[in-house]
């Protein structure tokens, strides 16, 4: 598509695309109201509170909910993302990419088209060398299994890939490692240069030698895109498919999911339950139901979508349940192909088979609901993209949006309470004369004592929980290996080595997930209790030192984010692989004892990263985050309390001057700000979103 045609198609798409994201408007209004309260407080506070409020306002401006699109290669993720953005040719979808690039689209309603830009980050030399030396996940498995031929094949393919990179990039190859390339524009040629590379490991036969020039070494791509119809900033992450030769993409996808509160799993209607998608099921089984939406794409390829869609839905839900995923997971059906042609007003080019499927579904829907008169709007609706965008908007409001609002408004309410207390001190001093001076040294010492005690108590309690988790994980590891080896020996005694033995690792994953869930629930309760005790202790200090009414001042503990989802438990391990070299491995051993011994060593090495990851990548970071959150809360209150102490010693004439100049107007502004913030004090709603 040439540049002029691309602009034309994007303009045609504008009336349709992005409109269903209007469900985000309530969150936008909340953010605006919250910023209004922060601005009012900023004008009333002292220098210490102004600094804190400035940071909170910056956080409101930086709210950018993220949605990660995951799925297999050729499931149509990229076409779907283009449809959701309303730019049919933004990301190349008509090439067969071999790349491990996560492409993040930072969509903005305020960014002008002339200011769109792109940023591409390259692998470091260490990251690249690690890939080449291990051969990715398949290389690791092959090495552990002693599958020399398969390992050598992987190494040859990687060496070929590196050599072609050298030929394309010449002497700059090593110098590019670890660099970042920034551009003040976005177009198809630029994106293809960094993220699209064919699967062919033979001769480079591409007509466009610039396509994929940097794709081998590109680690991530960030595109900053103008989308005026969008109510607020939004990030869509298009991840590579997970079914690649070296399983490099799987780890890239896992990392992307961990960095997002919401995932859209894109399946293909005609193979919605393929082996690859079962691997995806393992990933999403470890994500809370609220964080997953399944989009079954390519219903245009079904012969009878009206009949087949309910059957596919039932089958997917059954498969989800078998993998431990809630049946409440939202499943949306649609066709990015239809959405693209509806956007670009090219229904005549939709294809005969696709058109027949469209008519089939349209007739079925018309019998249930009144059809839209405009054919483009009708096809757009049947594409499922509007339903997907509405589902995304609803989930964002319930999760990431609610968590952001709760965190910022809680901190703001505490600042508002101290500003209100400061006003009470001013009035009392003017009316009653100088009160007893605040003993700053004593206040400082008691705050520090409260901090030390609170942090030590929280750390001790969390240490006990991590120790218990570690013991539970080790027990799960030993139990699994013991049962698996016993199963192998029994299989060999009954069937011999000619029948390939398999063993389902689902039980191990369930044990690990259960252990982590017990830890995270107990850690959250412990933190909630310690946070509440600490805030009560600080409140008591403040009330006593400033001689305030206990009923007139409140200090609420800060909310904390939920524990990270254990997505890494969905990572592929050797026992998940049922064929090819893994099957052949069993036939190369000489004795049952050799089977058992080598199997034990290999599986222990294989599952160790999974078991250890629960502690290193999940439990310990959550523990440290809780301690850091409490520490930051205490530090913020310490600064405010001590600033109040200095302010309380202000000259009486100055206080009278402050009270006589706009004191009532300031009180009105404070009341307005507190009323807004009180409306955000919805702990039940926030807890539900967790």
Average pLDDT for consecutive 10-residue bins of the chain (690 residues)?
Answer: 40 57 93 96 88 95 93 82 88 61 91 95 79 58 60 67 74 84 92 67 45 78 93 90 58 76 89 66 80 93 94 86 79 95 91 93 84 84 94 93 93 92 75 73 94 97 97 94 86 77 85 94 96 95 83 83 88 70 58 71 83 94 96 92 72 57 79 92 46
How many helices (H) and strands (E) are present in the chain, helices listed first?
A: 25, 9
Q: Is 433 left (phi over 0), alpha (psi -120 to 50) or beta?
A: left
Contacts of 544 (CB under 8 A, 6+ apart): none
Structure tokens given for 271: 């193979």
Say what the pLDDT of residue 203 is: 37
The model carries a pTM of 0.84
Q: How many CB atoms lie within 10 A of CB 241?
A: 20
pLDDT tens per residue, range 21-31: 889 999 999 99
Q: Measured in whole angstroms, how far is the alpha carbon of residue 49 from the centre of its chain?
A: 31
pLDDT of residue 685: 41
Cα torsion angle, 66, 70, 74, 75, sign: negative
Determine how many CB atoms are found less than 10 A away from the CB of residue 354: 20
Q: β-pairing, 180-183 with 218-226?
A: unpaired
* pLDDT the model gives residue 594: 67
Looking up tokens 């050298």 gives 166
Angle at 456 (CA atoms; ends 452, 457), nearest 5 degrees: 120
The reported pLDDT for the residue numbered 686 is 38
Helices 336-343 and 77-85 cross at an angle (nearest 10°) of 40
Tokens in use for 204?
């480079």
Q: Where are the alpha helices (DSSP H) in 45-181?
A: 47-61, 77-85, 125-134, 136-145, 148-169, 173-176
Q: How much is the pLDDT for 438?
A: 82
Residue 663: how many CB atoms within 10 A of its CB? 15
Please state, in angstroms and rounded to a whole number, the distance separating the CA atoms of residues 20 and 18.
Answer: 6
- What is the distance in angstroms between the CA of the first residue and the CA of the last residue of the chain? 44
**Distance between CA 468 and CA 519 in Å, rounded?**
8
Parallel, antiparallel or unpaired: strands 262-268 and 292-297: parallel
How many angstroms separate the CA atoms of 336 and 339, rounded?
Answer: 5
**At 579, is the secondary structure helix, strand, or coil?**
coil
CA atoms within 13 A on the CB side of 406: 22
Q: How confident is the model at residue 206, as a pLDDT?
A: 44
Q: Give me the pLDDT at residue 202, please.
A: 37
- The DSSP annotation for 20-69 comes to GGGGGHHHHHHHHHHHHHHHHHHHHS-HHHHHHHHHHHHHHHT---EEEE
Scan for tokens 């990263």, then name that residue.
609
pLDDT of amino acid 226: 93
């Amino acid at each position: 598509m040439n540049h002029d045609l691309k602009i034309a198609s994007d303009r045609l798409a504008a009336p349709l695309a992005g409109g269903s994201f209007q469900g985000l408007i309530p969150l936008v209004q909340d953010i605006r109201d919250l910023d209004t309260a922060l601005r009012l407080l900023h004008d009333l506070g002292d220098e210490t509170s102004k600094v804190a409020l400035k940071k909170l306002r910056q956080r409101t401006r930086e709210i950018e909910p993220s949605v990660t699109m995951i799925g297999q290669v050729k499931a149509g993720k990229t076409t779907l993302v283009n449809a959701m953005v309303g730019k049919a040719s933004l990301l190349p979808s008509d090439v067969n990419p071999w790349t491990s690039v996560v492409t993040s689209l930072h969509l903005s309603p305020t960014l002008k088209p002339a200011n769109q830009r792109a940023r591409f980050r390259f692998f470091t030399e260490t990251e690249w060398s690690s890939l080449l030396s291990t051969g990715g996940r398949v290389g690791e498995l092959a090495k552990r299994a002693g599958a020399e031929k398969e390992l050598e094949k992987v190494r040859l393919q990687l060496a070929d890939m590196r050599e072609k990179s050298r030929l394309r990039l010449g002497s700059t190859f090593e110098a590019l490692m670890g660099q970042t390339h920034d551009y003040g524009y976005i177009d198809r040629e630029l994106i293809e240069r960094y993220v699209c590379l064919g699967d062919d490991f033979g001769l480079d036969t591409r007509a466009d030698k610039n396509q994929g020039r940097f794709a081998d070494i590109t680690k991530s791509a960030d595109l900053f895109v103008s989308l005026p119809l969008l109510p607020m900033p939004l990030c869509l992450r298009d991840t590579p498919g997970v079914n690649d030769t070296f399983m490099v993409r799987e780890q890239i996808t896992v990392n992307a999911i961990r960095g997002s509160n919401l995932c859209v799993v894109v399946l293909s209607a005609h193979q919605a339950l393929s082996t690859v998608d079962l691997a995806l099921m393992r990933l999403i089984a470890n994500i809370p139901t609220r964080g997953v939406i399944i989009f079954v794409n390519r219903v245009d390829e079904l012969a009878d979508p009206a009949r087949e869609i309910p059957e596919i839905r039932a089958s997917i839900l059954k498969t989800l349940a078998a993998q431990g995923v809630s049946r409440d997971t939202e499943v949306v059906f649609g066709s990015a192909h239809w959405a693209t042609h509806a956007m670009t007003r090219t229904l005549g080019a939709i294809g005969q088979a696709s058109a027949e499927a469209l008519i089939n579904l349209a007739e079925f829907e018309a019998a249930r609901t009144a059809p839209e008169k405009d054919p483009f709007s009708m096809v757009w609706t049947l594409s499922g993209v509007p339903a997907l965008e509405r589902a995304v908007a609803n989930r964002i409001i319930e999760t990431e949006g609610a968590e952001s609002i709760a965190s910022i408004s809680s901190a703001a309410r505490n600042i508002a309470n101290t500003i209100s207390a400061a006003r009470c001190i001013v009035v009392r001093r003017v009316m009653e004369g100088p009160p007893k001076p605040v003993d700053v040294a004593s206040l400082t010492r008691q705050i520090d004592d409260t901090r030390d005690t609170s942090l030590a108590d929280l750390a001790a309690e969390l240490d006990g929980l991590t120790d218990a988790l570690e013991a539970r994980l080790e027990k799960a590891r030993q139990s699994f290996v013991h049962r698996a080896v016993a199963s192998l020996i029994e299989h060999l005694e009954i069937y011999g080595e000619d029948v390939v033995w398999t063993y389902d690792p689902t039980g191990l994953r369930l044990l690990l997930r259960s252990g982590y869930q017990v830890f995270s629930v107990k850690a959250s309760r412990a933190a909630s209790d310690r946070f509440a005790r600490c805030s009560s202790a600080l409140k008591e200090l403040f009330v006593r030192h400033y001689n305030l009414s206990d009923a007139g001042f409140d200090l609420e503990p800060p909310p904390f984010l939920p524990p990270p989802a254990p997505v890494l438990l969905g990572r592929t391990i050797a026992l998940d692989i049922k064929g090819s070299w893994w099957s052949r491995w069993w036939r190369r051993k000489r004795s049952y004892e050799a089977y058992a011994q080598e199997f034990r060593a290999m599986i222990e090495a294989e599952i160790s990263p999974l078991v250890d990851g629960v502690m290193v990548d999940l439990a310990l970071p959550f523990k440290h985050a809780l301690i850091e959150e409490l520490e930051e809360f205490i530090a913020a209150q310490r600064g405010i309390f001590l600033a109040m102490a200095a302010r309380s010693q202000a000259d009486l004439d100055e206080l009278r001057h402050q009270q006589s100049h706009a004191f009532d107007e300031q009180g009105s502004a404070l009341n307005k700000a507190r009323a807004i913030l009180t409306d955000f004090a919805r702990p039940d709603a926030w807890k539900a979103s967790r």
